[in-house]
Amino acid sequence: MIKIAVFAAEGCEEIEALTVVDILRRAGMETDIISLTENKAVTGSHNIVFGAEKRFDDIDMNDYDAAILPGGMPGTKNLATHTGVCSTVKSFAANGKLLAAICAAPSVLGELGVLEGKKAVCYPGFENHLVGAEVLLNGVFTDGNIITSRGMGTAIDFALAIVEYFSDKTIADELSKAIIYK
């Protein structure tokens, strides 16, 4: 079974985190919300408190097939300064595991050098952080093992792109239809 980690940094954009978790679980993918702090309670960028199932310090990222980085502020800054997240991003990139980042979070991938030679998208104003990437304006873009997305309004498309990555377009389209999307 596919196992996915969604990093829930303090100050993350709640919809970008929780929409992805919801869609991936509907697709039958084992998806864990991972807190980056000592607490399993995470406060998002709009002061919405939600619960993570696990704490980063208690897991082995080698058990996961994908790492998802929701954006938001200061969530993106908290991702970028978390040594475990940074080492996971570098390791997953080197080993061809899926990295998916939305909104400002693709900047973390860019600053760590994993977007070199890739095409990527991000929240407007963060383009200069996509170091080495060809920056596009698509809502969501998949380039090999990297999926990036522009923001909260693209969260469902982003989640469906992850479903398609691990299954196929037919399954993603069926899920889209089941949730009355597009």
pTM (global) more than 0.75: yes
> Is 180 exposed, middle or buried, given 0-12, 13-18 or 19+ CB atoms closer than 10 A?
exposed
DSSP per position, 80-95: HT-HHHHHHHHHHHHH
Tell which residue, 142, 163, 158, has the closest CA to residue 25. Answer: 163
Distance CA 18, CA 167 (A): 20
Mean pLDDT of the chain: 98
- Would you give the DSSP letter of residue 127? G
Query: Could you tell me the pLDDT band of residue 182, with boundaries at 50, 70 and 90?
Result: confident
pLDDT, mean of residues 70-85: 98
* Domains of the chain, each with CATH number or no CATH: 3-175 (3.40.50.880)
What separation, in Å, do the N-terminal and C-terminal C-alpha atoms of the chain show? 28
- Which positions are annotated as active-site residues? 103
